[in-house]
A and B are shown apart, each in its own frame.
Chain A
Amino acid sequence: MLMFYLAMLETEEEQATFEEIYEEFRYGCLHVALIITKNLAMAEDAVHNAFLSVIRHKKKYFQMPRFKLKSQIIIITKNKAIDLLRGEKQMASTPVDEFFDDTVADDFDVPEFVISEESYKHLVACVSRLPEKYRIVFQLRYMHDLSNKEIAERLDKSQQTVATMLHRGKAALGKLLLAEGVLDE
């Protein structure tokens, strides 16, 4: 019977952990989803879908340190919000997205110019102005050191799509730096 009680304890702990995580992060998730969707109902859907994803991968999420968990839940919520927007065909109206052409695939290397503090600040500012879909992939890759496979799992996308988004994200960053005059042709 010991195994039985241990199994019950585990599920009750998991349940409590899940509720605690939801309570702690739900408003932050709503906040970032609202920034993207500008629509409360859609933002709530994004929060709901994000926590569904957390449940689906709970073994991974429940083991994470709090800060890392917060970061990943925020990123996933943003991804869900983008998916919902795309479903509503509103994504095309997002100005910053219009600037970039998804068919552009020329890669970009951040070159030697980024040495001074000022230039580095420009680089960070340009990353922050990238379309969310690229920022999300950058954040999972660089902040959380996830592989394409792991990113694909988190975002419910194929590995190929993730690889393409990484590639296009860098290309988009290069274009943005050129447009800003930070880089020379």
Chain B
Amino acid sequence: MSNSYNKVLSEALLRQAAIDDHMNELDAIPPAEELRRMYAFSMRHEARMRALFRKEKYRARGAAIIKGARHVAVFIVVTGALLFGALLTNSEVRATVRDTIVEWFEQFTRYSFDDDTPTQEDVSWAFGYLPVGYIEEETYPFAERVSIDYVNADGDIIEFQYALASVISFAIDNEHSIFETKSYNGQVYDIYATISSEYPSYVIWKRDGYAFYLDGYVPCEELLQMAYSLIQK
């Protein structure tokens, strides 16, 4: 046989052998039902995957919301700017919104912060209080923000994020929650208490030049207790 024929034959044989080898390998994997009886994933893994699903869900939802609502936002921001200017003539309103910009859209609320307060950078924060059964699971530092997951034995997650207020913004799902504010030790806390067990509650606040975000499937009071107990590490 010629060299070129050999080469074609060789490649074809190797291709078929690799395919058959892989088919044999896939066939050797027991059916899903049997595998379920053979193995059990650890709690750590289940919690981590749930966190992954949630992060992906929020990321995808955020991207879709921003994409779809951009033109709505332009209209609302322009209208809002006019109203905002009028509202600022009221001194009480001016004091409240001095350095936090809260934009209300149809399905989410966006927080950004304009803070010129001198701040100490690289501060780490922790909670003096955690709901019963929750422990710190993982810390994900990304970009300028720090994200920490607190997990209980059932794999339920409370997510905590913080960053320098001047560099961060948050988008909160406002469709499935009731909004209210509370004050404690001179801090104002924005609360989004969920109205459905399918959605988490949120607490947003600002302190010492940092902005903080908490969400979880626990009663709002628990999130607030955590927020009130925040301390510098």
- Footprint of B on A, CB under 8 Å? 1, 3-8, 10-11, 14-15, 18-19, 22, 24, 26-28, 30-32, 34, 40-41, 44, 47-48, 51-52, 55, 70-71, 74-75, 109-112, 114, 120, 123-124, 127-128, 135, 138-139, 141-143, 170, 173
On chain B, the residues within 8 Å of A5 by CB distance are: 68
On chain A, the residues within 8 Å of B110 by CB distance are: none
- Footprint of A on B, CB under 8 Å? 1, 6-7, 9-10, 13-22, 24-26, 29-30, 32, 35-36, 38-39, 41-42, 44-45, 48-49, 52-53, 56-57, 60-61, 63-65, 67-69, 72
Q: List 6 A-B contacts (CB under 8 A).
A: A7-B68, A34-B39, A44-B45, A71-B22, A74-B26, A135-B22
Q: Which residue of A lies closest to B48 (CB)?
A: A48
Partner pick for A31 among B16, B35, B65, CB 8 A cutoff: B35
Contact B14 A27 (CB under 8 A): no
Contact A7 B10 (CB under 8 A): no
Q: How far is the CA of A71 from the CA of B29 in the complex (A)?
A: 11
Contact A127 B17 (CB under 8 A): yes
Contact B17 A15 (CB under 8 A): no
Contact A28 B69 (CB under 8 A): no
On chain A, the residues within 8 Å of B15 by CB distance are: 142
A35 to chain B, nearest CB (A): 9
Q: How far is the CA of A54 from the CA of B63 in the complex (A)?
A: 18
